[in-house]
Structure formats: C-alpha cells, structure tokens
Amino acid sequence: MKKIKLRGKELKRLGYNSDQAISLAINIVSRHFKRSDKVELLETLEKINLQPEEYLKDPVWGELAQLLSEKPAKNKKKPTLNKAALEFRIYGEENIDPEAIRQMETAMKLPISVKGALMADAHVGYGLPIGGVLATYNAVIPYAVGMDIGCRMCLSVFPFSPKKIDGERNRIKNILMNETRFGLAEFKDEQDHEILERTEFREIKFLNSLHKKFANQLGTSGHGNHFVDVGFVKIQAFSEWVGLHPGEYFAVLSHSGSRNFGSEVCKHYTRIAKDKLELSGEAAHLAWLELDSEEGQEYWAAMNLAGDYSHVNHRIIHRRLAKAFGEKPLVIIENHHNFAWKETLDTGEEIIIHRKGATPAGIGDVGIIPGTMASPAFIVTGKGNEDALNSASHGAGRLMSRNVAKQTFTESQMKKYLTEQGVELLGGGIDESPFAYKNIHEVMKHQGDLVDVLGEFYPRIVRME
C-alpha cells in the first residue's frame, strides 16, 4: 500500500478550521498511519471533527479530539503552547547542553509544529537552538531561521598541488589580506551587481531602507566565526557527486552570510510576529508569521533575497581569489544553513522546514561540514534520513560561549596549539579558539546515518576578523 499523502486543504474540506488542529492531525498521520487506507482515514478524521468527545480517551487521537472539543473564544484567542512536546530525534545527546534540548522541547510545543530534530552540534541559541531543525505547517519563524540568514560554506578546489601553500606562503597571505574584507571593512569596486536591482527593494518599503548598506557590504565577510581559509582537500575515492579523482588539491574554504541585511530582516519581522501573537516567556522568541499573511509573504521574500545575497558574497570572494591565483577552480561546492525551505513530508503534505545551524542532507545534497580552524572540514553527501528531516549538522558546534572562552584560554595557548597543527592565523581572537568547540570527529560519528563523507579539507592559512 502506498504512503498516504494527506494535505491541509483536504482537512479544511472536512471542517478543520485551525492551523493548530491541521498541524497536529498531519503529525499524527505521519507517525501512525503512513500506509493506512486513505478513505477510511479521512472518514475517521471527519468523525473526530464532528464528534471529538467520542475520541477523548483514544490513545492516538485523544490529543486532537481534546483540541477540537475546546470551544473557541468570542474574541480571537491568543495562541498557546501545547501541554506536551512532540517527540523529536536527538543526535549525540550526551554531548549537548540540556538547555539546548529544553529549548527544542519548547519549539516542539508550538501549535504550528509538525516534526523536529536536533543535530549533534547543537547548542543554546535565541528561540530555536543552534542545530535545531523544525517543521511547521503554513508558518515561518524568523528566529528559527536565525539572524545571519542564508549563512553558508563555499569551497573552491584548484588544480594546484598543496605544496603551493608553503612554496608561496607570503604571496598567499598577501592575497588573502588584499582580496577579502571582514567586519566593517568594505570594497570600493564591488558595488555594481545585478542583485542590487532586485524588485524586492521596490516592493517592500522596509528593505529599501537597507539598500545602501546591502550594497556597501557586498562581497564582504562577517566577524565572529566567519573565515576565509587556504588549505588542501584530500579525496580518497572518486565520487560522481564531487567529480574529483583521488588525490590532494589546493583549496579555499569560506564561511559567511547575509551580513547586517539578514540581521535587520530577522529583527524587523520578529517584532511584527511578537506584536501579533503576544506570546510570553521564551516562546516569544519563536513568534511566527503565517505564510498566507502579508507579513509572512514579505518575510519569505526578504529571506530568499538574503540567501541570494549570501551566495553572491561568497562567489565574489572566490572570484577575486581565483583571479589572484591565476586559475579557475575545478569545482565549487556550496551549502547553507539558517534558512527555511518548503518541503514535502513522507505523507505528501507541504511543510516549512527551518534549519538553524543545520544544513540540508537529502539524497544528492553535497556540502561541507567544518570543524575548527585547526581541524578538518568534511565534504559530505546526504543520505536522506527522514528522522532528521533530511538534515545534518552545520559544523562542530560551540562547547562554550565566547565570553567563557575568553575567560578560560590564553592567546599563547591558542598560538602554540595552532603551530602544532600546522595552521597560521591572520586575525581572529580567543573566542574562536579551537578549544571552544566540540570535537568535529565526535560530531561526525553521531551523524553516520545522515551523511557519507567524500573528502576532507585541511586549513593551513586562516583569515578571520
């Protein structure tokens, strides 16, 4: 028997008139009735809606019946969290801060939540934890996407030997310093790009106010954990997903996002969502916008523009470096996190999947999962694991906050360790010490069911703010 494809519009035809009830029904079907007879299932769902009191004690349908039996208030009722969190899969739980798990549990109590998972690199964030993957019905949560919308990894692999790194070290360092910009530094020759003419700036008044800084920061990298690394890629076996033969290659890896633009978009639409929903406590950071609302459509357009902006920023970085090196890359690999995607559950229902500090890992998805400035990044392809909502970690994940790292480690400790690992750092601070992060090898062990490793990137010269 084929998997059931239950859609929200079918439930609406049965009389389901709240997104919360539709979301819960889809979740129950996804968990318990994947291969049931659809006609019988729809009949049952209709009966539950018409006579919910008869199903209140049912072990499967009881929660839905309870929700449907509640009489709506005369005035529009403020949304409230469900009493119990939906179940979700945790990868590498023993290495995850309990507070991050509690944050995920809060997200799984939202009336719009359908499914979720927590990646092995997870740690505490605003609203949804970093490493949180959350599926919702007909709603997008700005803080479940994150501040740095569309932040991504980009890897260029060149037809050079890794020996070039030591043979031309000073030249490479000069190229990195001259052809990249971090923080408040800006290019003067990169403010002429087609993305600056996007219609969203004319159609959405708020975005127009950000246009000048959007243009000024084009092609630049942020601060914090954003970087441009020169190193080498090691490929053990040929893979059609990457197309590189076994061997070692000179390579550049960058990590950055949508700069101030993404941050302002997140804060602006979060304020709107909070005002509309009036959620209290920590759940306020998870305020959502319905996708069929004007504000929801605006945010969705702004989010996609921010993602495209992040992509353009990386391509400018890699174009400038490739030109300075005098060679085109053999291959460019790019993947992003801090984003929301419209996807389809195994039931056939369209949902919104937020990946905050998590990256797509569906079958055929190729990406990079970085470690620290002193450990390898892994080139991977996804396995399409539905328990993880076709997702994987976006990196090693922080072991401690920036402030704690500054109070715990010294610059001499970090320099000594980097020297031992054969890494030279240009810029950077104690808050980005390799000791402040989880062990990337342990993180990768916990996601063996999520991705296959195709190769590794080893940093040798690291450029940071």
pLDDT, tens digit, 9 for 90 and up, residues 313-348: 999 999 999 999 999 999 999 999 999 999 987 677
**Separation of alpha carbons 30 and 349, rounded Å:** 9
203-233 core/surface letters (b: 16 or more CB in 10 A; e: else): ebeebeebeeebbbbbbbbbbbbbbbbbbbb
* Residue 57: exposure state from Cβ atoms within 10 A (0-12, 13-18, ≥19): exposed
Domains of the chain in sequence order: 8-69 (no CATH), 152-258+289-334+356-464 (3.90.1860.10)
**Separation of alpha carbons 105 and 82, rounded Å:** 11
- What value does the mean pLDDT take over residues 102-108? 97
Give me the torsion for CA of 244, 248, 254, 255, rounded to 10°.
80
Between 16-30, 132-146, 171-185, 415-429, the lowest mean confidence (pLDDT) is in 16-30
User: How confident is the model over 209-225, as pLDDT tens digits?
Assistant: 999 999 999 999 998 89
**Separation of alpha carbons 420 and 446, rounded Å:** 27
Between 36-45, 152-161, 383-392, the lowest mean confidence (pLDDT) is in 36-45
pLDDT score of 7 = 80
**Separation of alpha carbons 272 and 362, rounded Å:** 33
Place of tokens 């008139």: 17
Q: With cut-offs at 50, 70 and 90, classify the pLDDT of residue 74.
A: very low
User: How confident is the model over 400-439, as pLDDT tens digits?
Assistant: 999 999 999 999 999 999 999 999 999 999 999 999 999 9
Question: Residue 448: is its pLDDT beyond 80?
Answer: yes
pLDDT score of 176 = 97
pLDDT score of 272 = 95
Question: Residue 56: is its pLDDT beyond 50?
Answer: yes
- List, in order, residues 6 or more apart from 203 with CB less than 8 Å away: 301
- What value does the mean pLDDT take over residues 145-161? 97
Place of tokens 């979720």: 116
Q: With cut-offs at 50, 70 and 90, classify the pLDDT of residue 1.
A: low
- What value does the mean pLDDT take over residues 157-164? 97
Place of tokens 């998805």: 365
pLDDT score of 189 = 85
**Separation of alpha carbons 8 and 145, rounded Å:** 23
pLDDT score of 79 = 86
The radius of gyration computed from the CA coordinates of the chain, to the nearest angstrom, equals: 23
What is the CB neighbour count within 10 angstroms for residue 404?
Answer: 13
- Strand stretches in 236-292, DSSP E: 247-256, 289-290
Residue type, 169: R
Which percentage of the chain shows pLDDT scores above 90?
A: 77
Residue type, 324: A
Angle 46-65-32 from CA coordinates, rounded to 5°: 75
**Separation of alpha carbons 63 and 400, rounded Å:** 38
Question: Residue 73: is its pLDDT beyond 80?
Answer: no
pTM above 0.75, yes or no: yes
Q: Decide if 171 contacts 164 (C-beta within 8 A).
A: no
**Separation of alpha carbons 367 and 355, rounded Å:** 14
**Separation of alpha carbons 40 and 26, rounded Å:** 15
Q: With cut-offs at 50, 70 and 90, classify the pLDDT of residue 258.
A: very high
Residue type, 297: Q
How far, in whole angstroms, is CA 72 from its chain's centroid? Answer: 36
